[in-house]
A and B are shown apart, each in its own frame.
Chain A
Amino acid sequence: MASSIVFRVSPTYNTISFSSSISNGLPLPSRLSRFHIRPRRKIPTVHAKIREIFMPALSSTMTEGKIVSWVKSEGDVLSKGDSVVVVESDKADMDVETFYDGILAAIVVGEGETAPVGAPIGLLAETEEEVAEAKAKAASSKTGPSSPPPAAPSPPPPSPAPSASSPSPPPQSPSPPPVYDGPRKIVATPYAKKLAKQHKIDIGLIVGTGPFGRITPSDVESAAGIGPSKSSISNVGSANASPSPAPPVAATATAASASPAMPPPIPGSTVVPFTTMQAAVSKNMVESLSVPTFRVGYSVTTDALDALYEKVKPKGVTMTALLAKAAAMALVQHPVVNATCKDGKSFTYNSNINIAVAVAINGGLITPVLQDADKLDLYLLSQKWKELVQKARAKQLQPHEYNSGTFTLSNLGMFGVDRFDAILPPGQGAIMAVGASKPTVVADADRFFSVNSKMLVNMVPSVTCYFFFP
């Protein structure tokens, strides 16, 4: 990607390590001009002095990202390697660094707003003189629609080529004034305020239960519906249902791309926008409809499996690990199921067997991947799984830990579901939906009845497997 940014792990959100920019000291200004500049949009007056900061693609499935926070403010001087903005992708929060020295001239997409991958989110000017020019440019691209460019990569509103020397916009005001509590008498601890901002909860709607009635982090957590106490969910509705005049931009952006003609809302209904993760899951599901799939079911006698499970359970082995291991061993023998059809013309055989397992997390869905599940033993696999789930909860999965799956496992057996169809994630060979194991009366070849435990397994393989079915 030749964009002007690289990604780096932020200490706050951590774990995602992309090519870290090891800056070997201060790049001399003369060297700068050698860097490749990506002229994404042709703007006649710009001679590569004003650079756009693009919404980066932080994972292969990411099509849009939300700005969590701008680390820098307009007017800040940036040097190569500085973190500029924190972006929430569908899977994790990441810092975005600048590749260039310059001045952050304008923020095009504000905090909390969403932009499609590749869209400009800010402008970087090389010198002070260009700041005004960049601001004019930013203003022109902002004035059109009140929201940032829609998800579809539509061209920006035609910018009325700002005259290069235009001094018209007044000199940029100093950095925004520091934040203070409003006049309201709301007492919230620093971390509570941070959490509320993070979970987008209006702190004014939270009832504090801490000392002197102050709002504590756990108050915010319970209002956000996370953490141990889920009793006060009642707050979620009131906190999240934002007043109608300003619907969150994220919602409009995603909704617009999904279905242009929506039925009018039923009076009295409240609109709760998808979180970025929910939007991504929904989008993936829609996408998978375009992949040819078919469904096959088979009921597996699980007496031996159950016996094995009882034996290894005390050693920390979970049913998930057992199923993943079993699937991996079967895939070794049937590589075609582990293959994908990416272009509709060829098979792509995957050299690794990476079992993704669907888990529900904080109102979303993520598929942590057990890499090389065929090669790891059951205990290692179980341990690995435990780590992955913890990381997923903490939103700390690294991209390769959730998007490298070749085969997905979805198990609803623990909820008593006895059969279901799963949706094939894009780019994977197949998904296996596992139901509950139940005692079942069966007749054998000698016409004797017996009661065995049976588990119904539904497979949704992609078109690749179809060719090999008899």
Chain B
Amino acid sequence: MQALISLSTVSPSSPAVARSDRAVGSFSTNASKPSSFRFCGLRREALGLSITKPHGSSRVALSQRRFYKKFSASLKDNGVPSKGFDYDLVIIGAGVGGHGAALHAVEKGLKTAIIEGDVVGGTCVNRGCVPSKALLAVSGRMRELQSEHHLKALGLQVSAAGYDRQGVADHANNLATKIRNNLTNSLKALGVDILSGVGTILGPQKVKYGKVGFSDQVITAKDIIIATGSVPFVPKGIEVDGKTVITSDHALKLEFVPDWIAIVGSGYIGLEFSDVYTALGSEVTFIEALDQLMPGFDPEIGKLAQRVLINPRKIDYHTGVFASKITPAKDGKPVIIELIDAKTKEPRDTLEVDAALIATGRAPYTKGLGLENINVETQRGFVPVDERMRVIDKNGNLVPHVYCIGDANGKMMLAHAASAQGISVVEQVSGKDHVLNHLSIPAACFTHPEISFVGLTEPQARERAEKEGYEISIAKTSFKANTKALAENEGEGLAKLIYRPDNGEILGVHIFGIHAADLIHEASNAITLGTRIQDIKFAVHAHPTLSEVLDELFKLAKVNSSVSSPVNEPVAV
């Protein structure tokens, strides 16, 4: 964390808090002083673009995500506020959700401010998706280099592969820094005001923000978006010391690679970390409260994934158990984990390991937001919202002009979902009704190989089909049938399509295999646009590419209706 946040003056003592309660140094000043960059030498290119050439040309550095489009579309100034308000839109929280909303708001001509109490980029950029991808990139290469037989099958010979832990950690840290700078600069370039401090809602259309030791500022805004995100959830009984009992926040710093680590929770976060740790030589024990590993995935995909990602690796697991008590290593003793039966609560076992990673999910970070001032009560910490992200108060009424997006509302705790929700809200406040179809939002787990999906799982689809009275069909194809996958010697994989044979509607697509995360978008786009299988099956895919896996899937589907009728009705979820 020290290195991670070297650009700001935030205290390392509160790393777990996405939105620090204490005030922090201003990013605008810090980030624009080259002297505060620790990685100047390495980052010359990025710095050159983002620092020395302000505004106009900085978009070159922003190859990341979809900002490019935003830039070219809106190199105009932040809008002029509506009469009587300081801003048209104030966003509390500069994570990926807030950032996406801010960019879109500027494009729509709204005068926008974003309040951030910690570092720009939020969890995703600083303690989540971004640095973990750096670690997973390392893990993927390590796996390739260690798989002697795989290399040999390609005719390659490599002598023993090794790694330098600090080097790996630095890569993750550098990536986070770079992306954070890109984000910050993209906001500044558009003239979004970045207000440092903790934001609190004082009343309708009124927000205060401020740093500890300074007087608070009060601003007014026509509309307010809450985008305060989440922090790692730590169940009670677990003592996190940040050294041997850690959360993803600490693990991403990769301060040590234990010989044996227990990972509590086998969702995305746990799985990705198991991929990283086993590639770096650790042994892993999963602790899962449900009866099955990887509970969130389509069962068939989960089973295959377990066969490939768990069973052959140095991993074992305990399912149907809670870690009721975890004591960090101290006084010459290892980390001690007490397991109890998830149903009967009877003691089951005690584990002694070198480290424990708590990956039991994330809790919304909504404390101190001043929700009581607008008569809103959180539910398990989440801010209740309707399908248009409008905040609902205690009495079930909509709170005018207040929206909540991202992890804080708990609808779909994914960075890109937050951003999509933010864009949807901006569409609404700028006068166009918009409802986001959450079933069109893809999700991915970046293990090796990757897992991705969009829409419903098979059991969910069956349940819905039963209720609504239609048939569903399944099409499946193997990566073994794909030329490019075989060329890469990565034939292990499955793609699965769940659809309605009567009208060709895509209900869900699940992929496990090489580059699955990149492949899912053809399906998610089709769902978003309402494209039916009978239409998309005529789309041409370059040969040989992995995308032909989806091509194969669409062609395998048997749709009874040949009527081509794109339907694009928003589905509220």
Report which A residues bind B (CB closer than 8 A).
Answer: 11-12, 14-15, 20-26, 28, 71, 79, 81, 83, 178, 180-181, 187, 189-191, 193-194, 210-212, 214, 217, 387, 394, 396
For B259, the chain A residues whose CB sits under 8 A away are 189, 210-211
The reply to whether A23 and B556 contact each other, CB–CB distance below 8 Å, is no
| From A20, A21, A71, A194, contact of B307 by CB (8 A) | A71
A-B contact count (CB 8 A): 77
With both beta carbons as reference points, the residue of chain A lying nearest to B286 in the complex is identified as A190
Provide the residues of chain B in CB contact with A214, threshold 8 Å: 260, 352
Which residues on B sit within 8 Å (CB–CB) of A194?
A: 314, 316
Q: Which of A11, A178, A387, A394 contacts B312 (CB 8 A)?
A: A11
Closest residue on chain A to residue B341 by CB atoms = A180
Shortest Cβ distance from A289 into chain B, in angstroms?
Answer: 37
Residues of A within 8 A of B315 (CB): 190
Shortest Cβ gap from A293 to chain B (Å): 37
Which secondary structure dominates where chain A touches chain B? loop
Nearest-neighbour CB distance to chain A for B564, whole angstroms, equals 23
Cβ of B454 to closest chain A Cβ, rounded Å: 19
Interface size on B, as a range, is 35 or more
A20 and B285 form a contact (CB under 8 A): no
- Cβ of A22: which chain B residues have Cβ within 8 Å of it? 478, 480-481
Q: List 15 A-B contacts (CB under 8 A).
A: A11-B492, A22-B481, A23-B477, A23-B481, A26-B556, A79-B476, A178-B319, A178-B320, A190-B283, A190-B285, A191-B283, A193-B316, A210-B259, A211-B259, A217-B314
- Bound together, the chains give a CA A206 to CA B57 distance in angstroms of 66
Chain A residues in 8 Å Cβ range of B558: 28
Give chain B nearest CB distance to A383 CB in angstroms: 10
CA distance A212 to B351 in the complex (A): 12
Given contacts A12-B311, A211-B354, A396-B149, contact A24 B481 (CB under 8 A): yes
Verify A190–B354 contact, CB threshold 8 A. no
Q: Which of B465-480 contact A (CB under 8 A)?
A: 474-478, 480
CB distance from A94 to the nearest CB of B (A): 14
Q: Are A180 and B477 in contact (CB under 8 A)?
A: no
Report A338 CB to chain B, min CB distance, Å: 29
Taking CB atoms, residues of chain A closer than 8 Å to B317 are 178
**CA of A212 to CA of B332, assembled, Å:** 9
Q: Which of B283, B308, B319, B349 has the largest count of A CB atoms less than 10 A from its CB?
A: B283
List A contacts of B491 (CB < 8 A): 20
A190 to B287 alpha-carbon distance, docked (Å): 13
Q: How far is the CB of A69 from chain B (nearest CB, A)?
A: 9
- Hey, which chain A residues are within 8 Å of B319, CB to CB? 178
Which residues of the partner chain B approach A193 to less than 8 Å between Cβ atoms? 316
Cα A180 to Cα B319 in complex, Å, equals 9
Contact across chains for A181 and B283 when beta carbons are under 8 A apart:
no
Is B318 an interface position by the 8 A CB rule? yes
Given the complex, which residues of B lie within 8 Å of A23, measured CB to CB? 476-478, 480-481
Q: Would you call B480 and A25 a contact (CB within 8 A)?
A: no
Q: How far is the CA of A359 from the CA of B259 in the complex (A)?
A: 35
Would A15 and B149 count as touching, CB distance under 8 A? yes
A173: min CB distance to chain B, Å: 14
Contact yes or no, B318 A189, CB < 8 A: no
* Minimum CB–CB distance for A149 against chain B, Å: 29
With CB as the reference atom, state the residue of chain A lying closest to B157: A387
Q: How far is the CA of A396 from the CA of B311 in the complex (A)?
A: 18
| CB of B506, distance to nearest CB on chain A (Å) | 16
Give the residues in chain B near A28, CB-CB below 8 Å: 558
B291 interfacial contact with A, CB 8 Å: yes
Q: Which one of A180, A211, A394, A396 contacts B348 once the chains associate, using CB atoms below 8 Å?
A: A180
Complex formed: what's the CA distance from A86 to B320 in Å? 26
Residues of B within 8 A of A26 (CB): 474-476, 556
